[in-house]
Amino acid sequence: MQSSQSCLIRGTVQVDECLIGGPEENKQGRSLDSNKHKVLMMVEQVKNKKGKTTMGRAYAQKINGYSADDFRPVMQKIH
């Protein structure tokens, strides 16, 4: 599924990164030379009908690294 990116995320947004892929031999923790896919996830916080904070729209994007320079273009496109 691909987003049209016509609906921007608004308000408070939770952002996190993760690795997608199985265990790698002789590697522990997060590594820059991993064969796993690095993904940046963003989830909008919204109020439901009862006034409680819950999750709204979510976006995920493959990234090349963990630096602010890798995050910034993705976040500016969505937020």
pLDDT computed for residue 22 by the predictor: 80
Structural domain total, the chain: 1
On whether residue 27 sits in a domain, the answer given is no
- 79 domain-assigned: yes
Is 17 part of a structural domain of the chain? yes
Query: Residue 58 domain-assigned?
Result: yes
Residue 31 confidence (pLDDT): 66
Residue 12 is assigned to a structural domain of this protein: yes
pLDDT of residue 47: 92
In the three-class reduction of DSSP (H, G, I as helix; E, B as strand; rest coil), residue 37 is classed as strand
Please, what's the b/e burial string for 4-37 (b: 16 or more CB within 10 A of its CB; e: otherwise)?
eeeeebeeebeeeeeeeeeeeeeeeeeeeeeeee
* Within-domain flag for 29: no
- Which residues does the chain have with pLDDT short of 50? none
pLDDT for 5 equals: 62
Q: Using one digit for the tens of pLDDT, what is the confidence trace for 45-64?
A: 999 999 999 999 999 999 98
Calpha distance 12→4 (Å, rounded) = 21
Does the residue 51 lie in any domain? Answer: yes
Question: Whole-prediction pTM value?
Answer: 0.73
Amino acid at 1: M
